[in-house]
Amino acid sequence: MNERSLQFKWTDLNRLRTIVGVVFESGGGLLIRRLRLKYFIPLWFRLRAVLKPSAADAPLMKMDGSGPILSPALLRSVLERLGPTFVKLGQVLSMRADLVGESISRELSKLQSDVAPFPYEEVRRIVTEEFSAPPETLFKSFEESPVAAGSLAQVHRAFLIDGTEVAVKVRRPGIEKVIRQDIHILYYLVGLAERFIPEWNIYRPTRIVKEFADWTLRELDFEAEGHNAERFRAIFTDNPNVHIPKIYWERTTKRVLTMTFSHGVKAGDLAGMEALGIDRKRLASIGVDAFFEQFLTAGFFHADPHPGNFFATTEGSLCLHDFGMVGYLDEEARRTLLHILRAFVQKDLEGFTKHFLRLALIDDRSDVSGFKKDLSNILSEFFFSPYPPSAARAFFRAINQGTRNGIRFPADLALFGKAILTTEGMGLLLYPEFDFNRELEPFVQKAWQSYWSPRRLFRAAETDFLDRVELLKNLPDRVEKVLIKLERGEIGIKLDAGDLHGIKQEFDRQNDLRILGLVLTAISVGTLGLFYLEGKRALFGLSLSHLSAAIWGILFIWFLSRLRQAPLP
């Protein structure tokens, strides 16, 4: 979907007025004025503000020396009041502390998407539309009451015809229309923000909305989620400690997802795990191992690893759920991350900084020197403290520090920073004595040895060899095409007379250096010979060896002066 189709439409006017009214009632008068939206405030919101003037006591946005500042608590309240799209936006922003700051990220992490379930009649209608048959004929049994309900979907327990117990996830009716309309409005609002609140342009609001739209609309496609789950099953196929539900494709569409039913308790349910006799320390280690397997080995990871998306099964294994939001790290990014984590383990400040900057997105506004100083201060606390915080916190803080210095990082890397911190938090929840750094060190060592294993290097060399063979195979055709274009005059070269003059000067300088170098070499050899014949040859009463050395010195000084002239750009 292109951005043009997501722009504001006149049919969205009533929804826009509702949004503006909620923001106004929550103390966002300054924000509305900055966005030039005060005429969109509905009359009943104005009247309520007059009768109950409490909003001004706790403004949603206020100004300070660095620009407009949002209140984290009021922002969360506004997003909750505006419904599922904005709750989902808040959840996504909670994973981007590099953009919104740690205080807002922490507050938005409290957003809950649990909502009242929709009626079974709607579930039956959607399933019938998707499969041309009602649930009672598609399944051996289908429970009408959902086992879980969220802002985008709800889950029902059912049994296939062969008796297999499954979980059926059904998309909430009308939710796609609501989200698309809200995305239209969000594009309109961030366009106003970029125009009238230029202080926020450093965060690239339009790009944030585009990323959110891509993630959320993809999350509505349950077939895409099913394919993500299958990929995770392939990643953990040899790991008996990690369980990924199996997808039943004959009962899966874009609006309905059927998978194996997982028995167990949520990772945050400590009492439930205690009742099942689950070893929480072991479960925490399994979670960290699964985390690093996703990020450093597979490069495909669960982008929303909060405790609600992880289950402890009755067998003591870890079960992952909800694969709508995923991230990607290419091989180069994984290799750089491995270098960063290894530098952290070895307390190598220079190595950490060097490789960390390789992941950064730097432009003319970036203060690289300032970022290096800030990074040095952060790492000093971690490397030289008797009770250092974890690598997760160091990485998270380092990414967040980039924004303050005009340095950005790819979205997937920011998700990694949030995910690594969330994983540590889940480990501490399961086992208070959990030490992330202690868990990190052996995995980094293992990953480093695996990266330099002869088998992997041979496979990489084999791939490179095939690429080079393919390049050589296609080279004659490419050369022939270029020659044909040259003959037809389709390739031209534009030269500037000033540039040619500069090139001529550089050629002259290079020729002078070559000639002087040859002369210096010849004189050096001659001088050595004359020193050998010292006292036997003279000119005008002067020793030839001394005369030759003087000439050599003059030419050498000339050579150095020409060499020090900077080459032309």
Q: What is the pLDDT of residue 502?
A: 58
Q: What is the pLDDT of residue 534?
A: 53
Neighbours of 7 (CB within 10 A): 14
Mean pLDDT within 157-182: 95
Nearest one of 411, 424, 425 to 92, comparing CA atoms: 411
Mean pLDDT within 367-384: 87
Beta bridge partners of 247: 259
> What tokens does 512 get?
């002078």
Residue 468 has pLDDT above 70, yes or no: no
Averaged pLDDT score across all residues of the chain: 81
What is the rounded CA–CA span in Å between residue 516 and residue 560? 10
What is the rounded CA–CA span in Å between residue 189 and residue 198? 13
Mean pLDDT within 426-444: 82
Q: Are 322 and 262 in contact (CB under 8 A)?
A: no
Mean pLDDT within 453-473: 62
**264/458: higher pLDDT:** 264
Residue 226 has pLDDT above 80, yes or no: yes
* Sheet hosting strand 318-320, strand order edge to edge: 242-243, 318-320, 310-313, 264-266
Q: What is the pLDDT of residue 321?
A: 87
**46/358: higher pLDDT:** 358
Residue 533 has pLDDT above 80, yes or no: no
User: How crowded is the C-beta side of 328, counted as CA atoms within 13 Å?
Assistant: 4
Cβ density class 257-292: b for 16+ within 10 Å, e for less: bbbbbbebbbbebeeebeebebebeebbbbbbbbbb
Residue 455 has pLDDT above 70, yes or no: no
Nearest one of 552, 272, 294 to 412, comparing CA atoms: 294
Mean pLDDT within 551-561: 63
Residue 566 has pLDDT above 50, yes or no: no
Q: What is the pLDDT of residue 569?
A: 45
Residue 425 has pLDDT above 60, yes or no: yes
**338/464: higher pLDDT:** 338
Neighbours of 106 (CB within 10 A): 13
The listed range with the strongest mean pLDDT (34-43, 233-242, 327-336, 378-387) is 233-242
Q: What is the pLDDT of residue 308?
A: 74
What is the rounded CA–CA span in Å between residue 566 and residue 569? 9
Unique residue bearing structure tokens 């050595």: 528
What is the rounded CA–CA span in Å between residue 362 and residue 411? 14
**306/358: higher pLDDT:** 358
Mean pLDDT within 140-158: 93
What is the rounded CA–CA span in Å between residue 177 and residue 179? 6
Task: Return the axis-axis angle of helices 280-292 and 411-430, rounded to nearest 10°.
Answer: 170
What are the residue boundaries of the structural domains of the chain, listed by start? 3-112, 116-149+152-261, 277-452, 504-564
3 state DSSP class of 390: coil
Q: What is the pLDDT of residue 251?
A: 97
Q: What is the pLDDT of residue 132?
A: 95
**450/390: higher pLDDT:** 390
Residue 317 has pLDDT above 80, yes or no: yes
Q: Are 153 and 170 in contact (CB under 8 A)?
A: yes
Mean pLDDT within 30-54: 78
Q: What is the pLDDT of residues 470-522, one digit of tens each?
A: 666 676 777 777 777 777 766 655 555 555 555 556 556 666 656 656 665 66
Q: What is the pLDDT of residue 318?
A: 92
Q: What is the pLDDT of residue 5?
A: 46
Residue 377 has pLDDT above 80, yes or no: yes
**506/47: higher pLDDT:** 47
Residues above pLDDT 70, as percent of the chain:
76
